[in-house]
Amino acid sequence: MTKQMPGELTRQQHLDLYYYMRLNRAVEDAMVKLFRQNKIVGGLYSSLGQEAISVGTCYALEKKDWIAPMIRNIGALLVKGVPPRDIFMQHMAKYDSPTKGRDGTSHFGDLENLHIVSPISMLGDLIPVMTGVAIGGRYLGQKVVTMTWIGDGGSSTGVFHEGLNLAATQKAPFVLILENNLWAYSTPVRRQVPLENLADRAKAYGIDSYIVDGNNVVAVYNAAREAVERARGGEGPILIEAKTFRRLGHAQHDPAEYVPKEMRAYWEARDPIALYEKFLTAEKLLDAAGKKAIDDKLDTLLAAEREFAENSPMPPPEFAEGGVYCTGDDCHKIRAKWERPIAEVTPPKSSVKAVWNVPGFGSGKGSGGADAPIHFGDTPQLVAERPANNGRPGKAAAKPAAKNAPKKAKAAAASASRKGRR
């Protein structure tokens, strides 16, 4: 196990990470009970043992940033500010749920306030979508970063590759978290991907990647924080592989008997919450009274949230009809929020000489690769500056963003081994 580094996190931030991991687990524990009482309509998926990833990565984002969670990222939803009742009601198909019973589980979003894009069950599709949000945000001058998650299994879909390739060619401010939990339903990762490190996927797109211990929330946070800053700074997309283990079956129905006992035991001894609790206690950031206060807070909160959810009605049958189309301004006022002068993207300022300007391109000196000095005509500012160190570890602290927080950069370097670009 990597030794946990305090980094530059404040005491409150440490406690936030702890609280959200505990909340994540408590929400899921409550849902297991609801499932056993037949109050959950469909399947129930678990992120037991993976809480550090959802929480640590999402906690690295700013409020304006966009996320698109997958099925095992309830922790990210909670960090973003989704109330537990919404998650309960989604699973219970209640009328007060965000989708009013039209979809379940974590399949919901919020375009207006929380900036959450709803997933679909087909894996990988969020990658080009969040690439689009990233490009769109850049176009509007919003300086937002987008983040989504994918599993080891989902990293083999075609759209994973199409999406990451587009993100890389566009230098989209996008961070992809690859949760390698070793199992895609019943198939072990080595039967899906012939790579030891799935972070190596990034090499194919000329983007940087990190490998991080997914059960160490501080390591996850530090890697995500650095990736988010770099993406926001114009360095393009970054892939983070978080190594972890799916402690339960694919969903509640699956006893996961195909998982070897030793493997389960190995990972159960590395529970991310237990590890973090030990760390916080040793660092004197949390004591018995503090823990008790969090226990009580969670009990009270979840009892109320659960009560609200249980009292919500099922949707009226006829609600199945309608709502297929947006009917116009009365339904949705669709307006882009410009945070740059519109004059920059309208003629005459937007007008360009439409020719490729490619010094050295095709000269046989490797100029077709990621470092080819391709300028898009007369708007070279669109091509972000590459870091002088070519993305290798060690020099990150010299970058302006990291300069302000040297301790944190050091912590990231210690806890997350960086993969070079090539």
Partner 1 sequence: MAGANGGATNGSASREAQITFLEAIRQAMFEEMERDPAVLLMGEDVGVYGGAFKTSEGLLERFGWERVIDTPISESAIIGAACGMSYLGLRPICEMQFIDFIVCAFNQITNFVAKGHYLWNAPAPIVIRGPSGGGVHGGPFHSANPEMYFVHTPGLKVIYPSTPYDAKGLLKAAVRDNNPVLFFEHKFLYRRIRGEVPAEDYTVPIGKAAVRREGRHLTILSYAAMIHTSLEAADALAKEGIEAEVIDLRTLLPIDEETILNSVKKTNKCLVVHEDTKTGGIAGEIAALLCEKAFGDLDGPVLRMTSLDTPVPYAPTLEEYFLPNAKKVFAAAKELARY
Give the gyration radius of the chain's Cα atoms: 22
Handedness of CA 409, 415, 419, 420 (dihedral sign): positive
Interface residues toward partner 1, by CB under 8 A:
98-99, 102-103, 107-109, 111, 117-118, 120, 122, 125, 127-137, 139-140, 142, 146, 158-159, 162-163, 165-166, 169-170, 323-328, 331-332, 334-338, 342, 345-347, 350-356, 376-377, 379, 382
Q: Which is nearer to partner 1, 164 or 248 (CB)?
A: 164
Between CA 26 and CA 40 the distance in angstroms is 16
Which residues are the active-site residues? 246, 250, 258
What three-state secondary structure class fits 188? strand
Residue 231 CA to chain centroid, in angstroms?
13
Q: How far is the CB of 222 from partner 1 (least distance, A)?
A: 27
Contact 139, 379 (CB under 8 A): no
Contacts of 388 (CB under 8 A, 6+ apart): 395
Q: Sign of torsion, CA 322 324 330 332? A: positive
Per DSSP (E only), the strands in 158-300 are 174-180, 183-184, 187-188, 208-213, 238-243
Distance from C-alpha of 294 to C-alpha of 54, rounded to nearest angstrom: 19
What is the helix, strand, coil percentage profile of the chain, to 5?
Answer: 40, 10, 50
Residue 308 or 376 having the CB closest to partner 1: 376
User: Is the CB of 289 or the CB of 324 nearer to partner 1?
Assistant: 324
Residue 140, both tokens: 């509007």
Q: Which is nearer to partner 1, 288 or 334 (by Cβ)?
A: 334
Q: Identify the three-state secondary structure at position 357.
A: strand
> Which of residues 122 and 398 has its CB atom nearest to partner 1 in the complex?
122
Q: How many CB atoms lie within 10 A of CB 266?
A: 11
* CA-closest candidate to residue 215, choices 188, 240, 243, 196: 243
Sign for the CA dihedral angle at 109, 111, 115, 121 comes to positive
The CB-of-124 to partner 1 minimum distance in angstroms stands at: 9
**Closer to partner 1 by Cβ: residue 258 or 338:** 338
Q: Distance (Å, rounded) from C-alpha 76 to C-alpha 70?
A: 9
Residue type, 336: A
Which is nearer to partner 1, 265 or 334 (by Cβ)? 334
Name the amino acid, one letter, at 347.
Answer: P
